[in-house]
Each structure stands twice: as C-alpha cells, then as structure tokens.
Amino acid sequence: MEVGGRSTLDVLNASGHLSIAWDVDNEAEVKAAEEAIEALKARGYAFFEATGVPGKLTIQKAPAPSPKRRGARKRHVAIPPMAGG
C-alpha cells in the first residue's frame, strides 16, 4: 500500500504479520526492503497485491514488489509456502 509516498508489504508470520515499509525516495529503506523481499522470495513466499480502496479491492497474485518502482495505490501481502493438511 502506498500512503503519502510510503509503501508497505505485510508478511504473514507467527506474530500476526510483519509490515515492511519503505519510502521510494529513501535509498536506505529501499535497499533494506529489497533485501527482505529477496529473502522472502528465496523462502518460497507467494505475493499478492490488492489494488483500489478498501471495500472495492482487486486482488491478484503478483510478482514480488519492486521497492524502487513508483506505482498506483497498492497493498502487498506475502504468504509463506502452504500445503494441504
């Protein structure tokens, strides 16, 4: 989600979720976010993005977000690998 230039990626984990936030204009934050996203990709996380406003969201599976890219208002969620149980 982009709020006033900041984007966030919500990563589902045992504590509920972890939010990774970055400002596209802040190089240090973008680098940290890129590293975190690369680590999630390596661990097989699936990425989803929700576009639109709450109540009228379009949800789709998407590639991992690119912190450097400026884009429309989006919300990103990463979920760990799952299996039928």
Partner 1 sequence: MTDDALVQLVTRVVHGDIAEADIPWAVIDPGQLSTFRFLMRHETARLRRLRHRASPAQRRALTLLRGLLTPSQCATLRRHRYVEVATPQHLYRIYPSKGITRRVVRRKTKTFAVIRYCYHDPDAHLPPADVALAHFLWLHADEGAFLHSANAHLTRTFHA
- Binding mask 57-76 vs partner 1 (x if CB under 8 A, - otherwise)? x-xxx-------------x-
Please report how close the Cβ of residue 13 comes to partner 1 at its closest, in angstroms.
6
The b/e string for 39-50 (b: 16+ C-beta within 10 A; e otherwise) is: ebeeeebbbebb
Which of these segments, 22-30, 32-40, 65-73, 77-85, binds partner 1 (CB under 8 A)?
A: 77-85
**How far is Cα 14 from Cα 53, in angstroms, rounded to an integer?**
27
Pick from 9, 10, 40, 74 the residue near partner 1 by CB under 8 A: 10
Q: Which residue has the tokens 């993005």?
A: 49
